[in-house]
Amino acid sequence: MGLRGDAAIVGFAEWPHVRRYTDEKQFTIDQWAELTRLALEDAGLSIKDVNGIVCSEIREADMFTPATIVEYLGRPVNFAERVDLGGANPVGMVWRAAAAIELGIADVVACTTPGRPIPSNPNRGPIDPRRYFQSSSHKWGSPQAEFEIPYGNLAQNCGYAMIAQRYAAEYDYKPEALAKLVAHQRDSAALNPLAAFYQKPISADDVLKSRMIADPLRMLEIVMPVAGGGAIIVASKEIANRCKHSPAWIKGFGEHLTMKTPTFAKDLCRSPVGPASDTAFDMAEIERHEIDACQIYDCYSITVLMTLEDAGFCEKGKGMDFLLDRDLGFDGDFPVNTHGGQLGMGQAGAAGGMTQVIESARQIMGRAGERQVPNCKNVYVSGTGGIMSEQAAVIMQGGGNGI
C-alpha cells in the first residue's frame, strides 16, 4: 500500500516570520505567485516545469481557488487540489503532491501557503460581530452555531485547554515538562533568523510564570500570530535528480480525521495523529528509532506532548517524563522542532504548519546551518488541524536517488 517513495521536495521558500509586518501588502494570489517563484528558483526549476498545484484557501475567492491561482500564474496544470485541513494543510499538501506525481498525473507540483496581510479594502462595510466566531461556523444548520457558539466554545485555546485538562485527570500532568519543551524550541528559534523570536530565548521558568489564558495553558505555551509564508516544490524522481539540492524523498504518509469539536471525540486523550502516524511508518518501512528529527505541529505545547505519545515515540501517559528526560534541542538526543517550531517562529495562519515541512526538507538537504542535526536522514513531520480533529504525518528521507 502507498507510495513508492520516489517523489521529493526539491526546493522551498520561506519568508521571515514577523510580529508586525510593515512592508507593502499584497493579495494572497500575489503572495502565492511570489513564494512559488522563490521556491522554484531555489530548486533550479522554472514555472514552465510546473504542471500541478496544491493550495488552501485564499482571501480573494471563496470558491474555485485552484482555477483562480492557475489563471493568475498563467500556467495550465493537470493536477489542482485545494486542501481544507486547517493547520494540517501543508502536510496534507505534501502527500497529495507526491501521490499525484507517483500516479504520473504531474511532474512538478507547487504547494504554497501565503501568510502575510492583504491590502485593506477601502470599501469594507461595518465589521460583522460574527467574525469573532472564527473557525466555528455560524451558518444556518451548523452544529457549531447551534450547540457550541451559544455556550462560548469558540476559537482554539479552550479546546486545547480541555484536552490538556482531561489528560491531567487521566495521566501525570507536569507543567514543568511542557515549559522545558517550549524553552528548548525557543533556544532553536533564537538561532533561526526567519523566526519571530530570533535571538530571544526564554527559560522554562519564564513559561511557568506567564499569564494563565485557559487553565492549564499559559501564554507562552500558545502560538503568537505573525506574518509569514512558505512554499515547497515537489518533483518526480527524474526531475529531482537534476535539481540544485539533495532531494527530501517522501516515503510515507497518513491522515486521520475524527470530529470538528473535541466534545465529540471518542477519547479526548487519543489524537488522530496516532492512526495517521502508524500508516505513515508502515508505508515508509521505517522504525520510530530510525527517525533523526521530528518536526511536530505545535500550536500549543500540549499538541507536541500528545503527538509524541500517539505517534508512538513514547508510551501513552509517559510523555511528560519523556520531555523531562530527553534533550529536544537540535543538538540533543531527540531533536524536535529544530527551527523553533511555531512556538518560536510564530504562526502565520495557514503557513504555520509549512514551517515544519520546510524545516524537514532543510535538515535533510543539510541546509540548516548553525542548527543542523548531524547526519539527518529520516525526518517525521506532523500536521494538526482544528482542535486535534484532523491530523496528518509524513516521513521524509534523504540520500539515494529515489529508488
Partner 1 sequence: MEFEKPLPLQTPASQPYWEGLKNRKVCIQQCDDCATWIFYPRNHCTECLGNSLSWKEVSGEASLYSYTIARQPTAPHFADEIPQLLAIVELDQGVRMTSTLVGANPSDLRVGMRLRPHFDHMTDEVTLLRFAPLVANSE
Any contact of residue 224 with partner 1 (CB under 8 A)?
no
Pick the binder of partner 1 from 212, 282, 317, 400 (CB under 8 A).
212
Residue 203 CB, nearest distance to partner 1 (Å)? Answer: 23
161 binds partner 1 (CB under 8 A): yes
Q: Does 214 bind partner 1 (CB under 8 A)?
A: yes
Binding of residue 172 to partner 1 (CB under 8 A): no
Total residues contacting partner 1 by CB under 8 A comes to: 40
Q: Using CB under 8 A, which of 172, 244, 264, 287 touches partner 1?
A: 264
Q: Scanning the structure block, which residue is given the C-alpha cell 519564564?
A: 206
By CB under 8 A, which span of 25-33, 163-171, 176-184, 358-366 interacts with partner 1? 163-171
Coil, strand, or helix at residue 98?
helix
Site for partner 1 in 126-155 (CB under 8 A): 127, 129-130, 132-133, 138, 140-141, 143, 145-155
Q: Is 157 in the site for partner 1 (CB under 8 A)?
A: yes
Angle at 289 between CA 286 and CA 293, to 5 degrees: 90
* Minimum CB–partner distance for residue 388 and partner 1 (Å): 13
With CB under 8 A as the contact rule, the residue among 98, 111, 158, 233 that binds partner 1 is 158
Mark 20-31 as b/e (b = at least 16 C-beta within 10 Å).
ebeeeebbbbbb
What is the distance between the terminal CA atoms of the chain, rounded to a whole angstrom? 16
**Distance between CA atoms of 86 and 349, rounded to whole angstroms?**
9
The strand pairing partners of 253, in sequence order, are 394
Nearer to partner 1, 150 or 374 (CB): 150
Give the angle subtended at the CA of 269 by the CAs of 268 and 272, to the nearest 5°.
80
- Looking at the Cβ atoms of 63 and 169, the one nearer to partner 1 is 169
3-class secondary structure, 250: strand
Residue 118 lies near partner 1 (rule: CB under 8 A): no
The distance of closest approach from Cβ of residue 213 to partner 1 in the complex, given in angstroms and rounded to an integer, is 6
- Cβ count near 11 (within 10 Å): 27
Q: Which is nearer to partner 1, 158 or 296 (CB)?
A: 158
Nearer to partner 1, 108 or 268 (CB): 268
Strands 293-295 and 378-385, bridge-based pairing: parallel
Do residues 291 and 334 make contact, with C-beta atoms less than 8 angstroms apart?
Answer: no
Q: Return the C-alpha cell found at 51.
A: 504542471
8 Å CB contact between 327 and 333: yes
Whichever of 106 and 162 has its CB closer to partner 1, that residue is 162
Task: Tell me which of 48, 124, 211, 289 binds partner 1, using CB under 8 A.
Answer: 211
- Within 10 angstroms of residue 150's Cβ, the number of other Cβ atoms is 9
One-letter amino acid at 183 equals A
Residues that bind partner 1 (CB under 8 A): 127, 129-130, 132-133, 138, 140-141, 143, 145-155, 157-158, 161-163, 165-166, 168-169, 211-215, 217, 261-264, 268
